[in-house]
Amino acid sequence: MKNIGEKFIKKYNMASVNRGLLALFCLVTWLLLSFYESALLQRVDAQSLFLFDGTFFERSMRVPAGFLGYVGSFLTQFMYYPALGAAVFVALLLIVYMLVRRVFRISDRWAVLAMVPMFLLLSLNTQLGYWIYYLKFPGYWFVPVIGTIVVLLAVWLFDRASYKWHIPVIVAWTILGYPLFGFYALFASLCMAVLSLSLAIRNGNRMRLVFDGVATVVVALALIIEVPLVCYEYYNSMAVEFVHTAGLPSYHWDIRTDHFNESIIPYWLPYILLFAYIILLSVIYNRLSSRVEIDKRYIVVNSLLLTASVLFSYFYWYSNDNFRIENKQDAAMWESDWRKVADYARDTKEPSRQIVMNKNIALLNLGTAGDEMFTYPDGSAMIDAPMNVHLTHTGGIMSYYCYGKFNFAYRWSVENAVEMGWKVEYLKHAIRSMLLQHEYMIARRYIEILKKAPFHRKWALHYEQFLDNPERIAKEREFFVPLQMCKYPDVLDVDDSYVEAYLIKEIPMGYTLENSPVYNEAALMSSLVRKDANMFWPNLARYLYNRKLKRLPTHYQEAVLLFSNLNRNVDVSQLKIDNSVRMRFNSFMQATKRYKGMKEEQMAPYMLKDYGRTYWYFYFFVRNIKTN
Amino acid sequence: MRIPYIYMALSLLLAFASCGNPTVPSQSSSLGELPSIYPDYTNVTIPCNIAPLTFVVNNEADEYVTRLSCGDHSVVMGGKEVSPDIDDWHALLATAKGADVKVEVFARKSDKWSAYSPFVFTVSPDSIDPYISYRLIPPSYVCYEELTISQRNISNYDEKTIYNNMLAATENKGSCINCHAYKNYRTDNMQFHVRQNNGGTVFVHNGVPVKLNMATDSTLSAGVYPSFNPVYDVVAYSVNKTGQIFHTRNRNKVEVQDEKSDIIIYNPVTNTVTNVADSPDDLEVFPWWSPDGRTLYYGSAHFTVQDTANTVVKEEIIRYRDIKYDILRRSWNPETFEFGPVDTVFAATKIGKSATFPRVSPDNRYLLFALGEYGCFHVWHHDADLHLLDLATGESWPLDEANSEYAESYHSWSSNSRWILFSSRRDDSNYTRLYIAHVDADGKASKAFVLPQRKADFYSMFDRSYNVPEFMLEPVDLAPHEFADIVKGEAKKVTYSSTGR
């Protein structure tokens, strides 16, 4: 093995091997981000906002590290096209690699060491999952990589200066850099101090050790502590406890308990490793520059390091199927591609409630809910995140919009914008909901803002045409179902942040003579999800009255049989039930008798195969649904 | 996709290319119409010490020239955005005091110059108080993040933060700040509330700041809506149990309702509070002292539960349109701390309306209030308008010149009683902006104009609402971080006194 490795490296020389590894890393990362995570990247863009506008820039600069956030937001918009956004990100990782090698003078022999920060910076983002809805600092995807580049450039600049200039450089850098780069400027100052001390120790001159090494460390530490405190009084926009960490993500606390929680530690680990690694490189500066022959020691160390980095990135990649499906569904919903939205819901064993809701909305739009809605996996998979994830923060606004609850869609767009800052997604929801609510002044305001977002200008212009021609709103296919759903009387109400629970309770109760056939179907669907026979019968009557159908869809037939069987006072003799449905119901009832004595959860696997695509299975075996 | 950066570069080049001194065209044809400008400053009455009124000409043209003139004094500017130099502006206003500044806009298309019909800024000799303060808040409902109480010098554009809630906030422990108020337009006696995290009332008494815990067992809540007595050392507060509930379709979006509310007064000398009005079936709110400090005005709604199966909250949700406020007043004896009987000043309920937020002009001539169809939180009611009541005659009328078809509310008088400052949602129906209107001795208002900003299109991108605008004669000198230290400190407990002394 040893011989093979050494022969290979000798044959192709180190530089070629490094280039090969680098190319492989870049290609794999780009492919994974562009294709496997394309929906995530699009969602990250939707959860960001960059405006080409002076006021936007000024507001960005009103906090320490604001410039970093501004640049981060600027770059995030390229994720509108995932392949482009991924390419930009990979290019920045490459710059980090090159800078690490140049700044710390790492030879080809140890070049793998320069790849470690790339893996860590990748993991910082791929670990995020549901945090994309909760991180408040703008441009968070790109901030760490830009911040790292800034640190490396600053250290490089410092290294170029004569040691007599070390203290002036560090003073100027910290004072000027902190407002722009926040924590990263302070960290760069620390790296400079470590580098200075390391060089002074190596120099062996006691005077230099004192007046360069030790003095630089003392000055740097004083500046790192004091500059943010002075700026705190100038900015007036941040608690003093956070001034030193401006620009770092905000997962300090468990949102549920507001106490430090060990579940947050893993999210910090890539940061800690990255910063510790750069400090280490500052300590061993220039000691990895020798161009000696490759030996066993090199191969073992580099292979281990590379393997560890790959494994770290693999395990830090948030790979929750439901999260990915939700993002794919969201993208398809914006495109009104309802078939795709429904089909994605089949790609999971147990869906989150968001997936189920999106699927039902899709089927309502496709008009196939009565025959399809219980043929998909159902349940309420726990959200894999350390915080309480509410639908109001993720896909709930879309649900409100699709169900014609425009005021609620608007309300949550604004509430979220208040907490997290305006994002593209919130602006789009606010525009659409206010457009359909016929509140054109406020819709125009948001359209004018979104027109300044370069990648979303086209979208804004598309919706602007409806402001100028409101009569076209009613004719637009895209708006048909939301407008049909918006036929209910105004009442004062509150959702307590539980979107699904609110919708399935309110829709069946929102009966008026105004109700449309679409509304009736949504009411019927909701009463089935609620397993509420009392709501089912009146809504079924309205549905039948409005639809004049030749055949009642299968799930509604199944519900008729089930509810009439549970309550024999209901006369369903006038309803035409397919023989196949009736026979399957009888067989279902016999099967339940066959497994008599078992608990529901024990019985469920046996019933799943034959009846898993029926309302009966949902009614009896999909239990303990917990909506978020 | 458009590439706006190219446009920006081209704009910069064009800007440099057109940097010469603009001159009024010697020949132009009259268009016979007013230019379309934003904000709409056409034919407004302005104070003689206001900051320059910057505006954008929306009419399309290749080149623009605008001339502001009064007699021989003129200021000429080029460009679509009209932004007078501040020194030139104030010199012009000094010349035009009591007269009109004529505004002429010329536009060139190809090689032909046209002149829009001129309009005027009528420069009132009545000056306006030099400072205002307001809370900047997103137009949200329940959630909040960054809120600031800010002060602005309205002779120029300088804005400073009085307090920013983020100064004492952690990631998940935020605090709401609200209800800043001053005594007699001065800042050595002032207050604002902090809710939730680090909650309390930051109260500055004769220049000394302290945090108070105003909740007692004998009062409904800690103090909410405040009014400093302009003469005596007491502050009136409403105490409220407030909730929010949301419209599913109505464009008003939300109702802010009081389940219960009373009036208390706080004596900062003895650090005690006492109840003033605490009738169980009446909702008393928004107290305001008369200029002599001997009468307390407030809004009051009588509301009783009709269906005994309902709670007050539930019934208020069902019958929200039945909650209507009148404006009442009670005399107050500063020696005995005793209040006289209730006197109805404006019986809004008799006309099926709801009147809140009474503000008496410092000359004790007029009562300014907001009138809507129902409820007390008119900032969310599109139908809410400002009304004026002549305290001498009892006659009242809407301030049509200042009102719009959107919500007007949260108003205050300048110290010379000639200017009103209020929030309005007329710009886009959601974001409140501050408007200023002149009110003459006969109670006639002029056309209101939006608070001028350095950039004419500032409001189109500014994502905060302005609320609780207050005039001030001097700025708040305490620094935000000094307030933060107070906020983070322990609150001094207020005690209850049945006599108030």
Question: Higher confidence at residue A8 or residue A208?
Answer: A208
Q: What is the mean pLDDT of residues A481-505?
A: 92
pLDDT tens digits, residue range A69-105? 999 999 999 999 999 999 999 999 999 999 999 999 9
A58, part of any domain: yes
Are B3 and A237 inside 8 Å of each other by CB?
A: no
Q: Are B201 and B156 in contact (CB under 8 A)?
A: no
Q: State the Cα–Cα distance between residues A523 and A536, nearest whole angstrom.
A: 8
Enumerate long-range contacts of A585-589, CB under 8 Å, 24 or more apart: A585/A558, A585/A561, A585/A616, A588/A614, A588/A616, A589/A565
What domains are there in chain B, each with its CATH number? 30-124 (2.60.40.10), 131-493 (2.120.10.30)
A548 torsion bin: left (phi>0), alpha (psi -120 to 50), beta (else): left
Taking contacts as CB-CB distances below 8 angstroms, the residues of chain A near B481 are: 232-233, 236, 240
Burial B337-375 (b: 16+ CB within 10 A, else e): bebeebeebbebbeeebbbbbbbbbbeebbbbbbbbbbb
A613, part of any domain: no
Cβ contacts of residue B189 below 8 Å, gap of 6+?
B182, B183, B204, B205, B206, B228
Please check the confidence at residue B20 and state whether its pLDDT lies above 80.
no
| Interface-testing mutation among B1, B10, B249, with chain A (most A C-beta atoms within 10 A) | B249
Are B141 and A253 inside 8 Å of each other by CB?
A: no
Residue appearing with tokens 């458009």: B2
Minimum mean pLDDT range among A341-350, A531-540, A576-585, B14-23: B14-23
Which is it for strands B100-109 and B112-115: parallel, antiparallel or unpaired?
A: antiparallel
Task: List, in sequence order, every beta strand (DSSP E) within B184-271.
Answer: 186-196, 200-205, 208-213, 226-228, 235-247, 254-267
Considering only CB atoms, A454 lies closest to which of B2, B143, B171, namely B2
**Min distance A598 CA to chain B CA atoms (Å):** 44
Minimum mean pLDDT range among A199-208, A370-379, A549-558, B112-121: A199-208
Q: State the Cα–Cα distance between residues A485 and A525, nearest whole angstrom.
A: 13
Nearest CA in chain B to A453: B4
Please check the confidence at residue A255 and state whether its pLDDT lies above 50.
no
- The tally of domains found in chain A comes to 2
Same domain, A369 and A479: yes
Burial B459-478 (b: 16+ CB within 10 A, else e): bbbbbbbbbbbbbbeebbeb
Q: State the Cα–Cα distance between residues A426 and A446, nearest whole angstrom.
A: 10
**Min distance A494 CA to chain B CA atoms (Å):** 6
Provide the pLDDT for residue A250: 79
Q: How confident is the model at residue B47 (pLDDT cuts 50, 70, 90)?
A: very high
Would you call A486 an interface residue with chain B, using a CB distance cutoff of 8 Å?
yes
Would you call A81 an interface residue with chain B, using a CB distance cutoff of 8 Å?
no
Same domain, A70 and A181: yes
Helix (H, G, I), strand (E, B) or coil at B388: strand
Picking from B478, B482, B477, B487, the residue whose alpha carbon sits closest to that of residue B212 is B487
Would you call B489 an interface residue with chain A, using a CB distance cutoff of 8 Å?
no
Same domain, A341 and A454: yes
Same domain, A302 and A328: no
Are B463 and A437 inside 8 Å of each other by CB?
A: no
Same domain, A286 and A386: no
pLDDT tens digits, residue range B115-150? 999 999 999 999 999 999 999 998 888 888 889 999
| Interface-testing mutation among A62, A408, A442, A507, with chain B (most B C-beta atoms within 10 A) | A442
Q: How confident is the model at residue A442 (pLDDT cuts 50, 70, 90)?
A: very high
Same domain, A304 and A334: no
Number of Cβ pairs closer than 8 Å across A and B? Answer: 141
Please check the confidence at residue A2 and state whether its pLDDT lies above 90.
no
Question: Higher confidence at residue B249 or residue B3?
Answer: B249
Taking contacts as CB-CB distances below 8 angstroms, the residues of chain B near A496 are: none
Q: State the Cα–Cα distance between residues A461 and A552, nearest whole angstrom.
A: 42
Residue appearing with tokens 């009783």: B304
Same domain, A435 and A304: no
pLDDT tens digits, residue range B249-297? 999 999 999 999 999 999 999 999 999 988 889 999 999 999 999 999 9
Q: What is the mean pLDDT of chain A?
A: 92
Are B481 and A232 inside 8 Å of each other by CB?
A: yes
Q: What is the mean pLDDT of chain B?
A: 93
Would you call A236 an interface residue with chain B, using a CB distance cutoff of 8 Å?
yes
Would you call B459 an interface residue with chain A, using a CB distance cutoff of 8 Å?
no
What is the number of other CB atoms lying within 10 angstroms of the CB of residue B269? 9
Question: Higher confidence at residue A195 or residue A9?
Answer: A195
Nearest CA in chain B to A413: B140
Taking contacts as CB-CB distances below 8 angstroms, the residues of chain B near A252 are: 170-171
Q: Are B263 and B296 in contact (CB under 8 A)?
A: yes
A520, part of any domain: no
Nearest CA in chain A to B244: A494
pTM: 0.93
From A485, A513, A547, the end of a domain falls on A485
Provide the pLDDT for residue B33: 96
A169, part of any domain: yes
A125, HSE (Cβ side, Cα atoms, 13 Å): 25
* Interface list for A 537-556 with B (CB within 8 A): none
Same domain, A277 and A340: no
Are B251 and A51 inside 8 Å of each other by CB?
A: no
Which is it for strands B495-496 and B465-472: parallel, antiparallel or unpaired?
A: unpaired
Minimum mean pLDDT range among A148-152, A231-235, B39-43, B158-162: A231-235
Are A490 and B144 inside 8 Å of each other by CB?
A: no
| Element containing residue B112 per DSSP (H, E) | strand B112-115
Percent of chain A with pLDDT over 70: 95
Q: How confident is the model at residue B170 (pLDDT cuts 50, 70, 90)?
A: confident
Q: How confident is the model at residue B172 (pLDDT cuts 50, 70, 90)?
A: confident
- CATH number (domain holding residue A380): 1.25.40
What dihedral do alpha carbons A169, A172, A173, A178 form, nearest 10°? 160
Taking contacts as CB-CB distances below 8 angstroms, the residues of chain B near A238 are: 166-167
Expressed as residue numbers, the domain containing A478 is 323-485
Q: How confident is the model at residue B432 (pLDDT cuts 50, 70, 90)?
A: very high
Would you call B483 an interface residue with chain A, using a CB distance cutoff of 8 Å?
no
Provide the pLDDT for residue B384: 96
Are B479 and A233 inside 8 Å of each other by CB?
A: yes
CA R_g for chain A: 30
Are B144 and A418 inside 8 Å of each other by CB?
A: yes
Same domain, A243 and A377: no
Are B164 and A236 inside 8 Å of each other by CB?
A: yes
Provide the pLDDT for residue B124: 97
Considering only CB atoms, B138 lies closest to which of A252, A414, A455, namely A414
From A485, A504, A530, the end of a domain falls on A485
Considering only CB atoms, B245 lies closest to which of A258, A415, A493, namely A493
Taking contacts as CB-CB distances below 8 angstroms, the residues of chain A near B251 are: 437, 439
In angstroms, the Cα distances linking A12 to A7, A16, A20, A22 are: 9, 6, 10, 15
A539, part of any domain: no
Write the DSSP string, B415-468: TTSSEEEEEE-TTTSSS-EEEEEEB-TTSPBPPPEEPP-SSTTHHHH---EEEE
From A424, A451, A485, the end of a domain falls on A485
Provide the pLDDT for residue A9: 63
Are A442 and B167 inside 8 Å of each other by CB?
A: no
Provide the pLDDT for residue B13: 55
Are A488 and B3 inside 8 Å of each other by CB?
A: no
Would you call A57 an interface residue with chain B, using a CB distance cutoff of 8 Å?
no
Provide the pLDDT for residue B424: 96
φ, ψ for residue B116, nearest 5 deg: -80, 160
At position A128, the amino acid (one-letter code) is: L
A12, part of any domain: yes
Would you call B145 an interface residue with chain A, using a CB distance cutoff of 8 Å?
yes
Are B145 and A411 inside 8 Å of each other by CB?
A: no
Taking contacts as CB-CB distances below 8 angstroms, the residues of chain B near A250 are: 171
**Min distance B3 CA to chain A CA atoms (Å):** 7
Picking from A377, A452, A388, the residue whose alpha carbon sits closest to that of residue A422 is A452
Please check the confidence at residue A264 and state whether its pLDDT lies above 60.
yes
Nearest CA in chain B to A243: B167
Are A236 and B143 inside 8 Å of each other by CB?
A: no
Q: Are A423 and A394 in contact (CB under 8 A)?
A: no
Taking contacts as CB-CB distances below 8 angstroms, the residues of chain A near B427 are: 441
The sign one gets for the Cα dihedral A459, A460, A461, A463 is positive
A510, part of any domain: no
Are B247 and A441 inside 8 Å of each other by CB?
A: no
Please check the confidence at residue A470 and state whether its pLDDT lies above 90.
yes
* Interface list for A 242-281 with B (CB within 8 A): 242, 250, 252-253, 255, 258
In angstroms, the Cα distances linking B240 to A493, B129, B215, B224, B350 are: 21, 31, 11, 7, 25
Same domain, A385 and A434: yes
Are B248 and A490 inside 8 Å of each other by CB?
A: yes
Are B251 and A439 inside 8 Å of each other by CB?
A: yes
Same domain, A213 and A346: no
Taking contacts as CB-CB distances below 8 angstroms, the residues of chain B near A456 are: none
A528, part of any domain: no
Are A418 and B428 inside 8 Å of each other by CB?
A: no
* Interface list for B 166-205 with A (CB within 8 A): 166-173
Cβ contacts of residue A22 below 8 Å, gap of 6+?
A94, A97, A115
**Min distance A440 CA to chain B CA atoms (Å):** 8
Nearest CA in chain A to B5: A52
Would you call A489 an interface residue with chain B, using a CB distance cutoff of 8 Å?
yes
Same domain, A83 and A208: yes
Please check the confidence at residue B415 and state whether its pLDDT lies above 80.
yes
Are B166 and A238 inside 8 Å of each other by CB?
A: yes
Are A418 and B461 inside 8 Å of each other by CB?
A: no
Considering only CB atoms, A407 lies closest to which of B139, B249, B484, namely B249
Are B164 and A232 inside 8 Å of each other by CB?
A: no
